[in-house]
Amino acid sequence: MINDKKVLYSGMQATGNLTLGNYLGALKNWLTLNEEYECFFGVMDLHSITVRQDPAEFRKRARNLLALYIAAGLDPVKNCIYYQSHVSAHAELGWILDCFTYMGELNRMTQFKDKSAKHSDNINAGLYTYPVLMAADILLYQADYVPVGKDQQQHLEITRDIAQRFNAIYGDVFTIPEGYYGKKGAKVMSLQDPSKKMSKSDENVNGSIYLMDDVDTVVRKCKRAVTDSDSEVRYSEDKPGVSNLLEIYTACSGKSIEEAEKEFDGKGYGEFKLAVAEAVNSVLEPMHKEFDRIIKDKEYLDGIIKENDDKARYFANKTLRKVRKKVGFTDIPR
């Protein structure tokens, strides 16, 4: 608890172009939850270097991500929005927790398997221990809740296992976090192949709606989205393309699936797809305007970064000191 509030922790990697999946699976839930909790939202730049990055481009993307959190509506005074790499406690606790994580557990991580297949020329140790660093992120802030998309569920489970193992040895050191998955949009699928998750690293750019896509691009991508050979707008397992669009439509418009099915009863896919695009644009357009304003304001952003870095460091170091003591490291002379 911080200031009598439960703690919420989440973040995104500063790689690639963020997609509508990132927004609906994570950011949108952060917006609805942030008033109720003491929140920390990281720009996960340490995780990003598990894949090679161009330094200049990487720096720009990380700053854009931070600005996007704010543009989406997160108040950086109420919420601690910061860069993971600015708080060295993440890397330190990551190492300590490496020593409390079994290779057998890491071998089971499906994201490691997927990413190793995608980057077969660079299967580095960081990619392998990635979930342990993620556990460190969460446990450093004694988080109660972690709102993420379904693809992160396995990482949340290993975080809980590591924390329970550590607590069983050393006493109550870490809060055991719970994952929070939204009712809608927890797994947005590709518009071109609804059996695959919408992903920023997809080579087929038509499969993903990027958060920075302009109005016309969104319309074009929605029009091209894969559906099926009948013409009924209905949510069903045997209609994965249409169901995915319905999920996107309802998540963006706030309507229920039943309402949406009724709305498009007897209407064709063409009309439905245009309505999906309109709903998506109604979310993206205001965000673009805010982003353009914020990213230009260097002084404002630098001020936010400095203040929130300090705040994150304060809470992270508090936990790290406790861990160091429990493990038995010698005190650092002051």
d(CA 191, CA 244): 8
Of 269, 256, 159, the C-alpha closest to 225 is: 269
Quick one: 47 or 239, whose CB is closer to ligand TYM?
A: 47
Token duo for residue 79: 């919420």
Residue 64 binds to ligand TYM (criterion: CB under 6 A) = no
Residue 319 binds to ligand TYM (criterion: CB under 6 A) = no
Q: Is 31 exposed, middle or buried (0-12, 13-18, 19+ CB in 10 A)?
A: middle
Please name the residue that has the structure tokens 């993620």. Answer: 134
Residues in the chain: 334
CB of 186 to ligand TYM, least distance (A): 6
Is residue 262 flagged as an active site residue? no
Residue 11 binds to ligand TYM (criterion: CB under 6 A) = yes
Q: Tally Cβ neighbours within 10 Å of residue 270.
A: 10
CB of 302 to ligand TYM, least distance (A): 24
Contact criterion met (CB below 8 Å) for 143 and 135:
no
d(CA 326, CA 193): 49
Choose the stretch contacting ligand TYM; rule: CB under 6 A; options: 64-72, 180-188, 216-224, 241-249.
180-188
CB of 112 to ligand TYM, least distance (A): 11
CB of 47 to ligand TYM, least distance (A): 5
CB of 235 to ligand TYM, least distance (A): 17
Token duo for residue 8: 């919420």
Residue from 7, 8, 25, 291 touching ligand TYM (CB under 6 A): that is 25
Letter string b/e over residues 303-326, b meaning 16 or more CB atoms within 10 A of that residue's CB? ebbeebbebbbebbbebbeebbee
Is residue 115 flagged as an active site residue? yes
Token duo for residue 258: 């039943």
Residue 136 binds to ligand TYM (criterion: CB under 6 A) = no
Residue nearest to ligand TYM (CB): 25
CB of 205 to ligand TYM, least distance (A): 15
Residue 177 binds to ligand TYM (criterion: CB under 6 A) = no
Q: Using alpha carbons only, what angle is made at residue 151 by residues 150 and 152, rounded to the nearest 5 degrees?
A: 90
Quick one: 162 or 198, whose CB is closer to ligand TYM?
A: 198
d(CA 77, CA 263): 40
Residue 12 binds to ligand TYM (criterion: CB under 6 A) = yes
Q: Using alpha carbons only, what angle is made at residue 295 by residues 292 and 300, rounded to the nearest 5 degrees?
A: 130
User: 184, 197, 239, 273: which is the annotated catalytic residue?
Assistant: 197
Residue from 119, 165, 187, 255 touching ligand TYM (CB under 6 A): that is 187
CB of 328 to ligand TYM, least distance (A): 27
Alpha helices, DSSP H, located in the chain: 20-22, 28-33, 45-48, 55-71, 89-98, 103-107, 110-118, 125-140, 153-170, 215-224, 240-253, 257-263, 269-296, 298-327
Q: Going residue by residue from 233 to 252, which x/- string records binding to ligand TYM, judged by CB under 6 A?
A: --------------------
Residue from 38, 137, 144, 213 touching ligand TYM (CB under 6 A): that is 137
Residue from 149, 179, 207, 241 touching ligand TYM (CB under 6 A): that is 149
Is residue 150 flagged as an active site residue? no
Residue 180 binds to ligand TYM (criterion: CB under 6 A) = no
Which is it for strands 7-13 and 80-83: parallel, antiparallel or unpaired? unpaired
**Positions marked active-site:** 115, 197, 200
Q: Where do contacts with ligand TYM occur on this chain (CB under 6 A)?
A: 9-13, 21-22, 24-26, 44, 47, 134, 137-138, 146, 148-149, 151-152, 185-188, 197-198
